[in-house]
């Protein structure tokens, strides 16, 4: 049912509109009732973006009287789900739930004082390389866990080293709990209902973990294979496709999108159609996806097209992408900011390849706009965390391992080998003067953490060994302490304008979106060999916006060669309104 039909100019247009909108409301309620009234203990809901899954979760939890468990992979979703469902269910990312269970269930290999350390696999991969006289990379180790591939013994060897350090990180945390529950089904926690969201983003380890939980609990699993973005962690949309064929599960749909305008919903259909023409998304789950006009009629009327914005250049001297976005932000009605803040959402999302996003962020910052650039957390192993552990326990195996990784004293590999083989403390095998000097550094850090003022000599030693002053070190100590107990879930309050990658935008919604870098060679990387992941990224990007999504390309940007417009713009051409951004544009 299109806006054109509902907006006829005939005398009975209002009657047609009212009838059509009412029919759509009745139909949406019918889909929801089918799910609520089902007596199946295993339900699968396949539904596109903005179709009301969180609202459905709330209804289902109320029907069963609360006492549920809600799991997702995406940090962006956790806060929204907690805000709406926390009185009815425990809400976690799968990794945070696993970490909680590790503290509740006596699991072999760890004691209750274990540490959650994000960079543990960096150290374990290095240790395995020393012990096995072959190169073991962190990425290979992660892949073994994600694929549940124990064929070469790396998983068991890595678990032994994790036990030596009494520490876990994302992957082995989930694996240890999965392994324990598979062997001890009586320890599987019981809930009135288990709800799993964004199932298309789970890998084999996570899927098997969910299966163990679902064997002992009524379960509702939701997802959309058109939004599968995480193949980098070996997630696969095939898992939800397989579940759609599983006779144990009753399958349901939520066809009506209450987030996006009609032109954006049409654009999604067009993207899927063009992808299928190129033999992409061939095995996708067919699902209805329509604009819910009772909610989106007015927005669809105000924003009937998708702006196709072409900037002639984008350089540090002429940052046209950021200037254009800043100009558009200045024209956003105040009520859009108010609505976004009431929902806990950014008003504006700027998404795309990171180099384009960072360019836009710099210019928006220069113009004094309340903007944040979302980067990945904890990108580097930090020696401060090692010193902090040693300050608490002078023989801390993990603390000394972090320090050794950074400082690499003489014969450090042999020291690590002997400590692991003999199951003794690392500091027992290190040079005595090295140990004394770094114990001194750790002692000063401990004093700093407790608020003591350090002597000039102490500060000099910290600066020599860590490369930063006391205030910086104090901030790092606070951050390290927060992360020790488990993976961070809570996100800081979202700003009015958020810049991130297309993957980073997953789980977010906004009033106005800008997808930047719509150029061949960037998005997509290769217009002759488009990937399914890039198609899914485009679908995710288009469907973040409640009002309007602008597609921004540029001519000259990173060198002397002119960039070509993205082939995706050709796919979407029926819905685009071209805007040329050049020097003259900003003089108007």
499 and 549 inside one domain:
yes
Least confident of 118-122, 280-284, 327-331, 484-488: 484-488
51 and 155 inside one domain:
no
Predicted confidence (pLDDT) at residue 4 exceeds the cutoff of 50 = no
Residue 133 lies in domain: 106-180
- Kindly compute the dihedral angle of the four CA atoms of residues 451, 456, 461, 462, in this order, to the nearest 10 degrees: 40
Confidence (pLDDT) at 101 = 95
Least confident of 157-166, 372-381, 454-463, 569-578: 372-381
Name the band, by pLDDT with cuts 50, 70 and 90, for residue 479.
Answer: low
- CA gap 373, 357 in Å, rounded: 8
Q: Which of 431, 449, 484 is the last residue of a domain?
A: 484
Per-residue model confidence as pLDDT tens digits over 18-39: 668 899 999 999 999 999 999 9
- The answer to whether 46 and 251 have CB atoms below 8 angstroms apart is yes
Name the nearest CA neighbour of 269 among 251, 286, 254, 252.
286
Name the nearest CA neighbour of 148 among 80, 92, 211.
211
Return the SS3 of 61: helix
pLDDT, average across residues 285-305: 97
263 within domain boundaries: no
Predicted confidence (pLDDT) at residue 58 exceeds the cutoff of 90 = yes
- CA gap 219, 487 in Å, rounded: 25
Least confident of 75-89, 342-356, 443-457: 443-457
- CA gap 179, 101 in Å, rounded: 12
Predicted confidence (pLDDT) at residue 1 exceeds the cutoff of 90 = no
209 and 89 inside one domain:
yes
472 and 416 inside one domain:
yes
At residue 434, φ and ψ (nearest 5 deg) are: -65, -45
Confidence (pLDDT) at 102 = 92
Burial category of 169 from C-beta neighbours within 10 Å (exposed 0-12, middle 13-18, buried 19 and up): buried
Q: How open is the CA angle 204-103-171, to the nearest 5 degrees? A: 25
Burial category of 197 from C-beta neighbours within 10 Å (exposed 0-12, middle 13-18, buried 19 and up): buried
Non-local (6+) Cβ contacts of 292 within 8 A are 24, 28, 256, 257, 258
489 within domain boundaries: no
295 and 415 inside one domain:
no
423 within domain boundaries: yes
- The answer to whether 477 and 449 have CB atoms below 8 angstroms apart is yes
Round to the nearest angstrom and report the end-to-end CA distance of the chain: 39
Predicted confidence (pLDDT) at residue 45 exceeds the cutoff of 70 = yes
Sign of CA dihedral 182, 186, 191, 192: positive
Q: How many domains does the chain have?
A: 4
Per-residue model confidence as pLDDT tens digits over 424-466: 999 999 999 999 999 999 998 888 878 788 788 887 888 888 8
- In angstroms, the Cα distances linking 51 to 461, 505, 538 are 57, 17, 18
Predicted confidence (pLDDT) at residue 579 exceeds the cutoff of 80 = yes
351 within domain boundaries: yes
- The answer to whether 484 and 117 have CB atoms below 8 angstroms apart is yes
176 and 192 inside one domain:
no
305 and 439 inside one domain:
no
477 and 394 inside one domain:
yes
> What radius of gyration, in Å, describes the C-alpha atoms of the chain?
27
454 or 145: whose pLDDT is higher?
145
Q: What is the pTM of this model?
A: 0.89
Least confident of 100-104, 288-292, 443-447, 545-549: 443-447
Predicted confidence (pLDDT) at residue 560 exceeds the cutoff of 80 = yes
73 and 204 inside one domain:
yes
543 and 406 inside one domain:
no
Predicted confidence (pLDDT) at residue 471 exceeds the cutoff of 80 = no
490 within domain boundaries: no
Mean of per-residue pLDDT scores for the chain:
91
Confidence (pLDDT) at 106 = 85
Confidence (pLDDT) at 9 = 35
Q: 545's torsion region: left (phi>0), alpha (psi -120 to 50) or beta?
A: beta
362 and 450 inside one domain:
no
Q: Which of 154, 180, 206 is the last residue of a domain?
A: 180
Name the pairing type of β-strands 290-291 and 306-313.
Answer: unpaired
Burial category of 330 from C-beta neighbours within 10 Å (exposed 0-12, middle 13-18, buried 19 and up): exposed
Confidence (pLDDT) at 402 = 97
Non-local (6+) Cβ contacts of 120 within 8 A are 162, 165, 167, 168, 169, 172, 398
8 within domain boundaries: no
Confidence (pLDDT) at 452 = 80
* CATH label of the domain that carries residue 526: 3.40.50.300
Per-residue model confidence as pLDDT tens digits over 372-411: 998 765 567 889 899 999 999 999 999 999 999 999 999 9
Percent of the chain predicted with pLDDT > 90:
80
Q: Which of 127, 148, 180 is the last residue of a domain?
A: 180
1 within domain boundaries: no
366 and 395 inside one domain:
no
Percent of the chain predicted with pLDDT > 70:
92
pLDDT, average across residues 239-245: 97
No. of H helices and E strands in the chain?
Answer: 24, 17
129 within domain boundaries: yes
- The answer to whether 200 and 228 have CB atoms below 8 angstroms apart is yes
């Amino acid at each position: 049912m299109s806006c054109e039909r509902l907006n006829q100019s005939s005398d009975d247009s209002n009657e047609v509109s009212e009838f059509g909108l009412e029919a759509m409301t009745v139909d949406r309620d019918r889909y929801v009732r089918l799910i609520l009234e089902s007596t199946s203990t295993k339900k699968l809901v396949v539904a596109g973006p903005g179709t009301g899954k969180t609202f459905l979760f709330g209804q289902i939890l109320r029907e069963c009287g609360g006492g549920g468990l809600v799991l997702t992979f995406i940090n962006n979703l956790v806060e929204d789900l907690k805000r709406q469902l926390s009185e009815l269910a425990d809400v976690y990312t799968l990794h945070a739930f696993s970490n909680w269970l590790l503290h509740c269930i006596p699991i072999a290999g760890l004691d209750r004082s274990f540490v959650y350390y994000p960079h543990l696999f960096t150290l374990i991969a290095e240790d395995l390389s020393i012990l096995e006289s072959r190169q073991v990379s962190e990425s290979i180790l992660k892949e073994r866990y994600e694929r549940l591939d124990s064929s070469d013994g790396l998983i068991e060897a890595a678990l032994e080293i994790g036990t030596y350090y009494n520490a876990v990180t994302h992957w082995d945390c989930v694996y240890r709990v999965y392994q324990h529950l598979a062997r001890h089904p009586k320890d599987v926690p019981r809930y009135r209902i288990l709800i799993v969201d964004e199932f298309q983003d789970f890998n084999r380890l996570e899927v098997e973990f969910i299966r163990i939980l679902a064997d002992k609990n009524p379960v509702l699993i939701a997802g959309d294979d058109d939004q599968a973005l995480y193949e980098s962690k070996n997630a696969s949309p095939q898992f939800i496709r397989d579940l759609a064929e599983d006779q144990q599960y009753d399958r349901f749909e939520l066809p009506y999108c209450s987030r996006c305008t009609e032109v954006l919903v049409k654009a999604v259909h067009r993207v899927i159609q063009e992808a299928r023409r190129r033999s992409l998304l061939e095995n996708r789950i067919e699902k209805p996806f329509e604009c819910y006009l009772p909610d989106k009629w007015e927005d669809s009327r105000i924003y009937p097209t998708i702006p196709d914005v072409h900037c002639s250049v984008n350089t540090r001297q002429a940052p046209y992408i950021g200037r254009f976005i800043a100009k558009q932000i200045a024209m956003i009605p105040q009520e859009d900011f108010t609505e976004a803040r009431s929902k806990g959402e950014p008003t504006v999302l700027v998404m795309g390849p990171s180099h384009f996003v960072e360019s836009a962020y710099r210019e928006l910052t220069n113009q004094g706009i309340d903007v944040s650039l979302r980067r990945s957390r904890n990108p580097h192993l930090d020696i401060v965390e090692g010193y902090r552990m040693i300050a608490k326990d002078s023989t801390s195996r993990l603390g000394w391992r972090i320090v050794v990784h950074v400082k690499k004293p003489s014969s450090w590999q042999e020291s690590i080998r002997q400590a692991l083989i003999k199951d003794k403390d690392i500091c027992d095998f290190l040079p005595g003067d090295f140990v004394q000097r770094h114990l001194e550094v750790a002692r000063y850090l401990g004093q700093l953490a407790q608020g003591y003022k350090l002597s000039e000599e102490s500060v000099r030693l910290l600066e020599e060994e860590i490369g930063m002053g006391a205030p910086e070190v104090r901030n790092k100590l606070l951050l390290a302490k927060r992360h020790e107990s488990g993976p961070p879930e809570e996100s800081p309050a979202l700003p009015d304008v958020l810049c991130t990658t297309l993957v980073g935008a997953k789980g977010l919604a906004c009033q106005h979106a800008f997808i930047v870098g719509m150029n061949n060679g960037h998005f997509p990387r290769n217009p002759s060999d488009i990937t399914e992941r890039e198609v899914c990224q485009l679908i995710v990007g288009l469907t973040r916006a409640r009002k309007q999504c602008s597609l921004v390309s540029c001519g000259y940007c990173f060198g002397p060669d002119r960039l070509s417009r993205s082939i995706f713009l050709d796919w979407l051409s029926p819905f685009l309104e071209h805007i040329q951004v050049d020097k003259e544009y900003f003089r108007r």
